[in-house]
Structures are given as structure tokens and as C-alpha cells.
Amino acid sequence: MLSFPFNFYLCGLLVSFCFALVAVPLWKKWCTSLNIIDDPGHRKIHTVPTPLAGGPGVFSAMLLTLGLGAGIYLLFPRAFSFDPIGFGGTALLSGIHTRTPQVVVLLLGSFGMVLLGLCDDRFELPARWKFLGQLLIAGLTAATGLRITLFVPNIIFSYAITILWILTVTNALNFLDNMNGLCTGIGIVVAWACAWLAAVHGQYLVAFIAFTATGSLLGFLPFNFPTGRAFLGDAGSHLVGYWCALLTILPDYYTVTDPRLHKWVVLIPVLLLSVPLADLVYVVIFRWRIGQPVYLGDTNHISHRLVKRGHSRSQAVLLILLASALVCYFALLAVA
């Protein structure tokens, strides 16, 4: 862990942060021109139409950062082999050679989620069509080889658990996007934790991707919290959910050569995302018990209940983010 060049990789976070700061205002204008906005009314707390620019803004920031990194690699490939400035070039090069297909899958799936979300933001897709879109993207992700195994040597199980994980996490973050900064903040906390987990185990490319995701979301946060000048929309919440689902399974938590780690450590992704997953389980059970469709929004999330107990919306968001950060910290301790 101490040998990991954090300073260098945090530069990737800073670059994606700056890209997001520039990209989000441009996407705000684009969304406004195409009427991809969230109008006030019906459980909405904002009073003016607000562009749903978070999804394309955050995704473009990550895409530009990874594109810049790829350009440096193509122009100066020998620097990665000799590592003249000590950024772990050899380990990063190994990751590029072995994990590039997974990075491509992540980017294509991210684009699919943003596109699906934008269609829903603009045309309000029926719930079944939105779910089918999520299922298609999750299935294609699994089909390209990015799958969970949980030590079960069965391809059908691997497909099923991967698709279920992506669908569950994506909808958990989509459901949680009910207050300014909440979904974005959870994405920041989880991506940051995944970056450190990958760094601890010398998985440099995964760490770089996670740091890039963290920076992109951080760059969007000033537009979304505490005042919502731009919202994630379904495009953004789908993207954050998809990123959380994949970033938590990209690191290798268990290897047969490391006797410190028990096989159960592969359940770390569940711990990292325990806060949004707990909220999802709670609202689904609550809606089912009162006979309400599970996809129909309400004000019974954990965040809403904190507000009902007297906290401001910003305080409720910060309390939930603090809980998520503490859980992620204990997850880090489990594999450090």
C-alpha cells in the first residue's frame, strides 16, 4: 500500500474533476435546448425547471480523462516500461494488457445506461421498457466476460448473479436519487473506496479508473449540492449505479496466493454498497406491504424519514453519506 504512487494517480482524479467542471455547464445548455429538464411539482422541492445534465456531464469527464490517458500511453509507451517518474508504469502496463477489454465493456455499458436514462428523462419511458433496457445492458456486460463467480464453477450461475447484481445496484442508486447530492455523494464514497481497495492490492488500472470516476462525480457535486443547479436525472443515477456495480467487482479481493484473505472477502461489494442496498430493500418491502407498485416513487426512503425527524435535507444527505463512508472504511480494514 505504501509503495502505491497515490500522488500521481490523484492527478487523474484532479483532471477528471476539472473536465467535469467544464463539461457540466455545456451539457446544461444542451439539455435545456432539448427540453431534458425536471419541472417543479409533484413531490418536487425545486421551484424552477432544472436541466438533467449530470449523466452526460459526468460520463464525458471520465471518457475524456481515460482518452487522455490512452493518448499518453500511445505516444509514450516506453515510459510505462521504464517508469522514469515512478508512477508504477510496469504494473499499470500489465493492467492495460490484461484488463483493457473490461475497460471497454465498462465504457460501452456506461454509454448505454446514459442513453437509456436520457430517453427516460426526455420521454418518460414505461417502467417495463426501462427495466428491459437495464436487463439488456447487464446481460451484454456479463456476455463480454465481466462476470462474478463466487467460486461456483457454473456459467449459468455466473451470468445470473452478475445480471442480478448490476440490476439491483443500478436501481438502488436510482431509487436513492431523491435529494440533492445524495446519489452523487454515494457514488463518490464508493468509487473512492474501490480506488483504495485496488491500490492496496496493486491493481493500478482499476485504481486509475476508480479515481477517475471519483473525480468526475466530485466535479458535478458543486452543481448539485447543496443547491440543485443541475440534476443527475435517470441518465446520471443509472450511470452512478452501473459504475458502483462494476467498480465493486473489478478489484480482485481474493487470490489463492494471499493466505490473509478468506473466500468470504468477496462479499466486500455488498458491504461497500450496504447503505443504498438497505434503502432499496426497505422501500421495496414497504411498498409491497401497502400494495403500491415498487417502481412508483414515494417519500418513505431513509433520507425522507430523517427529514421527518427534524433534520434539514442537507443534514439528512450528509448523515447518510457519513454512514456510507464509515461502512466503506470498515470494508477497507477487512482487506488492508
Among candidates 280, 294, 282, which has minimal Cα distance to 177?
280
pLDDT tens for each residue of 100-141 = 888 889 999 999 999 999 999 999 999 999 999 999 999 999
In a domain, 320, yes or no: no
Residue spans of the chain under pLDDT 70: 1-8, 41-47, 76-98, 252-264, 336
69 found inside a domain:
yes
Cα first-last separation, the chain = 8
pTM for the structure as a whole:
0.91
Residue 120 lies inside a defined structural domain of this protein: yes
Q: Which of these, 277, 322, 20, 5, lies nearest to 164 by C-alpha position? A: 277
Q: Examine residue 292 and state whether it is found in any structural domain, yes or no.
A: no
Instruction: Give the Cα separation of 119 and 272 in Å (integer).
Output: 30
Give the chain's domain count.
1
Residue 295: CB atoms within 10 Å = 15
Is 304 within a domain?
Answer: no
Q: What is the pLDDT of residue 1?
A: 44
Report yes or no on 219 lying in a domain. Answer: yes
Please report whether residue 55 resides in a domain. Answer: yes
Cell of 264: 468470504
Alpha carbon distances (Å) from 97 to 80, 251, 303: 12, 16, 43
Domain range holding 139?
A: 6-255
Residue 287, classified by CB atoms within 10 Å of its CB into exposed (0-12), middle (13-18) or buried (19+), is middle
Q: Nearest 5°: phi and psi at 181? A: 85, -10
- Per the domain annotation, does 313 fall within a domain? no
Which pLDDT belongs to residue 80?
Answer: 58
